[in-house]
Structure 1
């Protein structure tokens, strides 16, 4: 697995470990504008590329839960037994899966602008999305060839391009607060991250789209760790209705629906503070009454 450990905290032996699940497309390449607020607070952040992205081998038919199992193996290999998980955008379902697959290891979940399950009852999945995402998720119902053709077009539009080019291509997905972020420091970070993810082809993106729109491989009820759920109300990539649906269906979630925040502006420079709030939450075992003698 293509993985990078970002350990810029003062005491490497003591800082809490955080597994960061990237978006779609994405990769293990660290993005300072996203990760620095965590490492500056002493968190040790591990990033990775999902199967098919970057140097990670393609895994045919992978599910969201399959990726969580891969990550559990990675953390065991690194000697980490207890950790927090952060999932942004398409990384959100994978963060939830980590908590469901290895509940004894995941101490908390920071869920930021996450997708809800495809076809979830009571949710209009694409309502409020920009044109690119409407087209992307609309292609799912037309079979794999249609998905491959559309993803190929979208990948060509961002691979090897400047942040200004990407901003133009993604215009329908960007409220003004997100456009300002993409044309600042984060833009170069994002371009490098996507370029690495797509350096060997589009398989990771195609597999992500298939995994998000298929059964995830676990039940939301299996997630018992504390969850801090954040979503911007003007998000056009993953509309806030997804956050509201998840908040209603995740019993341990503390929801924060932020007015006038988008998909990008919600994240830049703030994940460290959000993680501190998560660490302050009591664990499920701490909330249980003592056993009777």
Structure 2
């Protein structure tokens, strides 16, 4: 499934229209969402646009709203340079960027390394998936974070080298019911302990 062609989307908010028919078909009346890293905006989209059904939102190492200048300014020069290229470059240029970046990362992995298959999957379809993701992150997301009314619990490392912790603090300030836990001694990938806390938070209350 990771090698399937990505669905065209005009904005991250389109995720709501893609996912909710599946939930309807499955008869899911209430649910919680968990966004990890670049999955955070998609969790926020569901919470804002399907707020009558979303009970809670867990976010670990979550990406912030990159079109906002204050969020963008929290990143280092190299990241800002890449983001600028994503905003202004052609789709082919963005695909080429990810092809070079992901192949270089794959070359550093042993064939059976834990990230090797993920990297190979990301290279499928001429890097259409990573390119679409990079483009959508830079555009207006298609919804307002103030529309997220469900309780949000966020975990973010103070030492996260990929998504600066300052962006999590800013994002928490835009949400009406957010609780941010800043972690020490961890990096971008959530620890087992944080995973357990997120699952406990999302678990439905006993009847």
TM-score (norm 1): 0.62
Match of 1:243 in 2: 168
Change (3 A) 1:162 1:69: farther
Which among 193, 197, 203 is matched to residue 273 of structure 1?
197
Change (3 A) 1:68 1:140: same
Match of 1:60 in 2: 8
Which structure dedicates a bigger proportion of its chain to helix? 2
Structure 1 unaligned residues grouped into runs of 5+: 3-26, 28-53, 166-184, 282-293
Q: Do residues 117 (structure 1) and 41 (structure 2) align?
A: no
Match of 1:137 in 2: 83
Match of 1:226 in 2: 151
Q: Secondary structure in 1 aligned to 2:16? A: helix
The CA deviation string for residues 225-251 of structure 1, in whole angstroms up to 9 with x for no partner, is 110011101111111111111111111
Matches within 5 A, 1:1-293: 2=1, 27=2, 54-55=3-4, 57-125=5-73, 127-128=75-76, 131=78, 133-144=79-90, 145-159=92-106, 161=107, 163=109, 188=114, 190-264=115-189, 266-268=190-192, 270-279=194-203
Distance, in Å, in 2 between the alignment partners of 1:125 and 1:73 is 37
Distance, in Å, in 1 between the alignment partners of 2:93 and 2:56 is 37
Change (3 A) 1:279 1:252: farther
Distance, in Å, in 1 between the alignment partners of 2:74 and 2:93 is 18
Distance, in Å, in 1 between the alignment partners of 2:21 and 2:54 is 13
Distance, in Å, in 1 between the alignment partners of 2:130 and 2:18 is 17
Structure 2 unaligned residues grouped into runs of 5+: none
- Report how far residue 98 of structure 1 moved: 0.9
Q: Is 2:34–2:43's contact at 8 Å kept on the other side of the alignment? A: yes
- Report how far residue 119 of structure 1 moved: 3.0
Q: Is 1:111–1:230's contact at 8 Å kept on the other side of the alignment? A: yes
Q: Secondary structure in 1 aligned to 2:70? A: coil
Distance, in Å, in 1 between the alignment partners of 2:14 and 2:39 is 13
How many pairs were matched up?
A: 204
